[in-house]
Chain A
């Protein structure tokens, strides 16, 4: 059988959120090795289990449905892949599903996040309104060519909902993702906390979670 590309979706939570992107690659390679699945190895001088993550997840952010691409060289069912990998994954990482990839990586356009902030609910809600209704939202960003530069992220921050939750508020939002323009969720959370600080609202980030990855046309990345 020729190699077949497979895309699995996994969740990354609890202590696994502290696994960096580079370490995740090694962690998954080892899990695949332990699983005994008939995976495809890259060719060349140092053959390695082929793995690719279409969109990196930053350290400290939970993932609900993170894609990982791999390839197999023998016929195995999607269930066998899911179960095989789950039996070998460390705590906090669980495979949700496996399928043939539908979209190429370049189709990725957005990602959706859920963030929880603790503090006074009313004050926090007002802060979100204040934060987003400004003319511009300036943040400092590291640029490869120019060093630290100031950019306006307001056109890119799309707040979907603000709701009350235990000890604070839940904010869901959509940010651009992919090769063209990628905005890390931490850029939003940090600038929001900074804003809270400037208007003397006590706030603390409790959790940041990527809930889905979308194509540029708004459909789910599959």
Chain B
């Protein structure tokens, strides 16, 4: 029989960017499979270029491979050209390290970073030669697991996944694989027995062990465990001491260019801000930092092992690190000498100053992006962005004085309580920034001013104060987008771009969905939906058909306001934040009242009690 590698190689020259499909990248881990006890296929349900940019995958890949008798491999969704050839030539989905079919692995694990990759999960299971439905898979098929931010509401995926990992993965993944290895060795392993025992591990949610009942109006009545030994609520896992947690010393370095093609050090987890629309700001609490020394050492090790010419200090809000100035000084001391470009992707407007900017532009000057999120102070207070206009202006002034002639501004449209005034406020803000620029004597010469406005549609997400909020209708989004375009007309220095709002509506439904959406996702996939996050691939019409085929009302999920006391599909998962806090914050939002950052005053979200550690001090 022709081996799989030969079959693959015969097709590679027919597809775009073939180096994505054959492995062999620097630092990829290859083991002798006769000496391996547990094989794990780490799947990122999107293209290689996107998946290879993901830091969580790099952490868990290295962590699992640190065990001599475990082998973790990378798997991505093949782009459509290669998928077609794989299906034609009967090539099953394989791991990039061994080029073996993942159907024969022990675990298939998906990291679920955004809702729009759900159909890719089904497609990858199918390409692997497995039934997409967990209940239909065999005893000998791999255990299919999933983790990542989206599994804070895993309900729409329950039909397809055997178990979910809730919260941070570094410890619980190891415990899960150890349990598996132990049960295999002792002969106790059956999939059913394993799932039952796994459900006893803190942070593991086995959906088949819970029953969901519904009220007559379609809302959820209750979610209850089917047997003893299964917790009523599954609490997320967190790493208590971030400074000591495992971090890889090397990354797999791809040949082809990927989205974030650089070394990345995670500098902190959680966020002190509490922006009311932001899911990451709540589900990753509590706020924890790495020390400057650890960050610098990890950065050096990574740059040396990869040869990357760019280093990124990543987190939800890097400028909120308590030691940011000292850290940047030490870091640039190293990066300048090595001619490595330093990138700080998440900078807050109110923390941006001359010193920060100079550190950033020392080696190479990249663009500046700020996120005011809303056009008026009233609305910024509603969403608790805690930034005022003077801070925005001051940041722009600093940037212009520093030689930047362009800024990129992120906004959201369709936020709760938003009026036309708020939309026009976006245009007014851009115009005032332009006035500031034109009135500056020391503005950069020889460059044209450019203000880019990037406008996303608000998507209500679980575990946020806005989880109760409906999304506005398609017609209304359409009208507001036109309004913004009209208000920026004639200003050639303003450039407005949008996200496709038809994608945002699906995103809302999937984010807030329950188990009944499993049938819709399956139907959409059967109708050919995949890569839904890619504008050119998104098939809104097919999703509409899938909802119709399954007699499911998308508006029930995306456009309906939820009651405070309603049982949400995700209420049996505990992300260490009290629901009463979200209710309180939602009410404050409606009153336009802000909540201070965690560093200034504890807002009482409950995470310190649940995690058994004080957030500060």
Contact = CB atoms under 8 A, between A and B. Distances in A.
B549 interface: no
B253 interface: yes
Interface in A110-144: none
Contacts of A27: 255
The prevalent SS among residues of B at the interface is loop
Contacts of B309: 29-30, 33, 48-49
A61 to B, nearest CB: 10
A106 interface: no
Contacts of A49: 309
A34 B257 contact: no
A148 interface: no
B307 A88 contact: yes
Contacts of A48: 309
A60 B363 CA distance: 36
Interface stretch (A12-20, A63-71, A73-81): A12-20
Nearest to B254: A23
A35 B17 CA distance: 26
A24 B365 CA distance: 25
Contacts of B364: 45-46
B17 A20 contact: yes
A23 B18 CA distance: 11
Contact of A32 (B257, B306, B307): B307
A18 B18 contact: yes
B13 A60 contact: yes
Contact of B253 (A16, A24, A30): A30
A24 B308 CA distance: 14
A90 to B, nearest CB: 4
B307 A33 contact: yes
Interface in B277-315: 304-309
B24 A16 contact: yes
Contacts of B365: 45
Interface residues of A, number: 29
B212 interface: no
B23 interface: yes
B4 interface: no
Contacts of B17: 20
Interface string A1-37: 0000000000000111011101110110111111000
A96 to B, nearest CB: 20
B25 A31 contact: no
A187 interface: no
B367 to A, nearest CB: 13
A91 interface: yes
A41 interface: yes
A22 B17 CA distance: 11
Contacts of B308: 30, 33
Nearest to A46: B364
B307 A90 contact: no
A92 interface: yes
B304 A18 contact: no
A47 interface: yes
A59 interface: yes
A45 B361 CA distance: 11
Contact of B19 (A19, A30, A33, A46): A19
A20 B256 CA distance: 8
B363 to A, nearest CB: 8
Nearest to B5: A15
Instruction: Report the 4 A-B pairs with minimum CB-CB distance, sorted nearest first.
Output: A30-B307, A33-B307, A15-B24, A34-B307
5 contacts: A18-B22, A23-B255, A34-B304, A88-B307, A92-B24
Interface of B: 12-13, 17-19, 22-26, 253, 255-257, 304-309, 339, 363-365
